[in-house]
Amino acid sequence: MRKRTIEDYVELLYDLQKNKKPVHTNDIASVLNINPASVTEIFQKLNNDGYINYEKYGGATLTQKGEKIAIATKKKHDTLKKFLKILGVDEKIADMDACKIEHVVDPMTMEKLTKFVEFVQRFKGGPRWLDHFKYFYETGKYIECTLIDTAKCPFHRHKSQ
């Protein structure tokens, strides 16, 4: 498996915290299928770096700093996944790819993708060009334009219409 990042851990901590706080080494270990002893080391490091509050045998809770990163990372994940699903990537793969890409992507790219998702979701059922893309993806053919009025505009299948 790819080297796990701080982001991975605070994200997971954030999710587990919702059910039970504080989160113990075993909770993480069982989810990630790693040894509890390894989690202890990770907790010590995250604690040192100010992402969690951790005391021996006491489990961990995210600090503000940690929570901030967790939320930001989850937001990135969510946007990436939404974007990939728009493109037609399967749920599971979208989720896995989002999980990997979220740790490496530049803020500018995230901003563009965020706006793109917003732009697409503005149209109920997606904009018409997206249907055309899907048709193209399946068949390799481009749909010829047959429109004559606004109502059929392939761009403006607009929520407010």
Partner DNA sequence: ACTAATTTTTAGGTATGCCTAAATTATATT
Partner DNA sequence: AATATAATTTAGGCATACCTAAAAATTAGT
Round to whole Å and give the CA distance between 85 and 79: 10
Q: Residue 53, class by beta-carbon neighbours within 10 Å (0-12 exposed, 13-18 middle, 19+ buried)?
A: middle
Q: Total residues contacting DNA (rule CB under 7 A)?
A: 25
Round to whole Å and give the CA distance between 83 and 94: 8
- Cβ proximity to DNA, 49 vs 118, nearer residue: 49
- Residue from 42, 80, 94, 110 binding DNA (CB under 7 A): 42
> Of 70-89, which residues contact a second copy (CB under 8 A)?
84, 87-89
Of 54, 71, 61, which Cα lies nearest the Cα of 21?
61
Could you say whether residue 66 binds a second copy (CB under 8 A)?
no
Could you say whether residue 133 binds a second copy (CB under 8 A)?
yes
> Minimal distance in Å, beta carbon 151 to a second copy?
9
User: Binds 122, which of DNA, a second copy, none (CB < 5 to 8 A, cut-off by type)?
Assistant: a second copy
Cβ pair 73, 11 in contact under 8 A:
yes
> Minimal distance in Å, beta carbon 103 to a second copy?
9
Round to whole Å and give the CA distance between 151 and 158: 9
> Minimal distance in Å, beta carbon 21 to DNA?
12
